[in-house]
Amino acid sequence: MPELPDVVVYTERLGDRLLGRTLERVRLLNPFVLRSVTPPVAAAEGRKVAGVRRMGKRIVIALQGDLFLVMHLMIAGRLRWIAKDRKPPGRLSLAAFEFQDGKLVLTEAGTKRRASIHLVEGEAALATMDPGGLEVLEARFEDFAAQLRKDRHTLKRALTDPHLFSGIGNAYSDEILHRAKLSPFAQTVSLSEDDARRLYEAVRSTLVEWTERLRRQAGADLPEKVTAFHEEMAVHGRYRKPCPVCGSPVQRIVYADNETNYCARCQTGGKILADRALSRLLKASWPRSIDELE
């Protein structure tokens, strides 16, 4: 799922391309992508783009007349800019927004249609769609620490909760926790002041560095290779590959459709965290420490 760095770059490039231009037509290529009924989507046509901004992991295109197109890309949704005389790509396309000099196309790979579009009127209606998570890059440490300790959660769950922190998902939470040298299973309420401050700095530096990296990769265009897996990442998606800090093999915990990647030597004092499925299967054979694997 595109997270804060990806969505920031999307909004910046869309702003460069769309600001002040008139949205001539909205074509819904899959009717289920539109999740709102009032106002009708036709109300967006003929209006100029007044701004583009991020709201959590959502992209908000502000139109004249206090209308807002809100897009959530979810896991497989992506945005493409194509020439006006080109057809949107096959079954992948969910919607096309036509401008004088081209089309912005929302696509989604796979068979699950999770990406969504809402059209809402007024800032108050837009605010109801905001999960309300703290914007860490704008927050003081004291506000971050208070938000972190609001409820008893694991660090992984807290960082990825959109009601607590804005824009952080599965991929960057792995990178943040590795940089902070903290276990994904550590409890928020048990975190020391030094650990909390180290996590705060890791969140900010990780998100800033990856936003800058993705800006450079995209150049002046919309991002093309939006993915949760990058070779330059330290642990996310790098199961069994060497940790760039200590060289130990990266570990993982699989649950539902997600996985957590971490370095046992750097983050958990060498302890291998229990994967429910595998640890139950292997029982006594389940390794307890990274030393048993190495």
- Residue 26 belongs to domain with CATH number: 3.20.190.10
Q: Is the pTM of this model over 0.85?
A: yes
Query: Which residue, 127, 158, 193, sits at the end of a domain?
Result: 127
Residue 279 pLDDT more than 50?
no
- Residue 188 belongs to domain with CATH number: 1.10.8.50
Q: What is the mean pLDDT of residues 205-218?
A: 97
CA distances from residue 183 to 39, 63, 264 in whole angstroms, order as listed: 46, 44, 8
CB 48 within 8 Å of CB 32: no
Q: Do 156 and 99 share a domain, yes or no?
A: no
Helices (H), the chain: 4-18, 123-127, 141-148, 155-160, 170-180, 193-218, 264-267, 276-282, 290-293
Query: Which residue, 94, 127, 160, sits at the end of a domain?
Result: 127
Domain of 54 in residue numbering reads as 4-127
Residue 275 pLDDT more than 70?
no
Query: Which residue, 74, 103, 127, sits at the end of a domain?
Result: 127
Q: Cα separation of 16 and 52, whole Å? A: 9
* The predicted structure's pLDDT at residue 283: 43
Residue 160 pLDDT more than 90?
yes
How many structural domains does the chain have?
2
Q: Cα separation of 89 and 99, whole Å? A: 17
State how far Cα 294 lies from the chain centre. Answer: 34
CA distances from residue 66 to 116, 225, 263 in whole angstroms, order as listed: 20, 32, 48
- The three-class DSSP label of residue 242 is strand
Q: What is the mean pLDDT of residues 275-287?
A: 46
Q: Which two tokens stand for residue 145?
A: 């620490």
Q: What is the mean pLDDT of residues 38-47?
A: 97
CB 184 within 8 Å of CB 262: yes
Instruction: Name the strand (E) or helix (H) holding 28.
Output: strand 25-28
Number of neighbours of residue 119 by Cβ within 10 angstroms: 23
Query: 93-103 pLDDT, tens per residue?
Result: 999 999 999 99
Residue 214 pLDDT more than 80?
yes
Q: Do 74 and 106 share a domain, yes or no?
A: yes
Query: 118-157 pLDDT, tens per residue?
Result: 999 999 999 999 999 999 999 999 999 999 999 999 999 9
CA 127, 132, 136, 141 torsion: positive or negative?
Answer: positive
State how far Cα 222 lies from the chain centre. Answer: 16
Q: Cα separation of 261 and 287, whole Å? A: 16
